[in-house]
Amino acid sequence: MASSNGFHVCVIGLGSMGMGAARSCIAAGLQTYGVDLNPAARDALREAGAVEVGTDAGAFADRLDAVLLLLVNAAQCRAVLFGENGLAAKLRPGTGVMVSSTIAVADAKEIEKGLSERGLLMLDAPVSGGAAKAAAGQMTVMAAGPRAAFDRLRPVLDAVAGKVYEIGETAGLGATVKIIHQLLAGVHIAAGAEAMALAARASIPLDLMYDVVTNAAGNSWMFENRMKHVVDGDYTPRSAVDIFVKDLRLVTETGLSLNFPLPLATTAYSMFANASNAGYGKLDDAAVIKSFAGIRLPGDEEGQ
């Protein structure tokens, strides 16, 4: 662990990405606090060396130099910052707030306006890389905001990111880049699931099919990562089906707002929505394959 310094950061949302980011902040020597409703997550971060944990940051808000939000959606971000007992009113002016949830452009702008009115600095800074890169402090950050916000949040960016893209000064630019990225991520998972479902229907062993694809031109990072879950019959949620229902809805809504057709993204959204409606929403997003009928998958007692 790096020697500690006097920079105090709170990570709000200790899921797979947030926990990795918080641990990376601890490893970088930052005075790290954690907030989550899950007591197991709070206990895990406390044992990893957090200064303090809680169900909200009110008790230590006046000590913070920075806040990192890694929540599910914009509604959760707004509730934490501006809801009853909202955090924004308790932070010192000049505190940096890094909003790293995947949210709509309009939500990013609205949150930035509310923070700015309270003298707080915001980075619209969604992230990518999955739990493994979060734990290694190697996330990719797509950030937009004023130079003062970048400067204030530099210790956090250095701790959690392998690559920081400084996209511009206007809130919403980071959200836009992440939404476009999620178009690719969601379509790649959906296409991988379709291919593996076809292999299952054709009675091709899925471990063989996986090995062929990951050593050939049809491979993608998402196929290699997510379809391994299918081969293993392991749908423990690292990122859930419902996350991609939300993210691909943002993608399709962005296309509609620009009067721009997105046929592949629209189809992928339908696939994830179908999987969610079939009861698989809380499973790993690779469980989108379970919406295909007439196939048997590893771990199944009977065909789908």
**Residues with catalytic function:** 178
DSSP-assigned beta bridge partners for residue 144: 124, 168
Conformational region of residue 13, where left means phi above 0, alpha means psi within -120 to 50, and beta covers everything else: left
> Which amino acid, residue 8?
H
DSSP-assigned beta bridge partners for residue 66: 9, 96
Q: Distance (Å, rounded) from C-alpha 300 to C-alpha 304? A: 8
Q: Do β-strands 52-54 and 139-144 pair in parallel, antiparallel, or remain unpaired?
A: unpaired
Q: Distance (Å, rounded) from C-alpha 25 to C-alpha 9? A: 8
Q: Distance (Å, rounded) from C-alpha 84 to C-alpha 90? A: 12
- Please tell me the chain's helix, strand, coil percentages from 3-state DSSP, rounded to the nearest 5: 55, 15, 30
Please give the sequence-ordered ranges of beta strands (E in DSSP) within the chain, or none if there are none: 8-12, 31-35, 52-54, 66-69, 96-99, 121-124, 127-128, 139-144, 161-168
253-283 burial string, b = 16+ CB within 10 Å, else e?
ebbeeeeeebeebeebbebbbbbbeeebbeb
End-to-end CA distance of the chain, in Å?
47
Q: What 8-state DSSP symbol labels residue 284?
A: B
Q: Distance (Å, rounded) from C-alpha 244 to C-alpha 103? A: 12
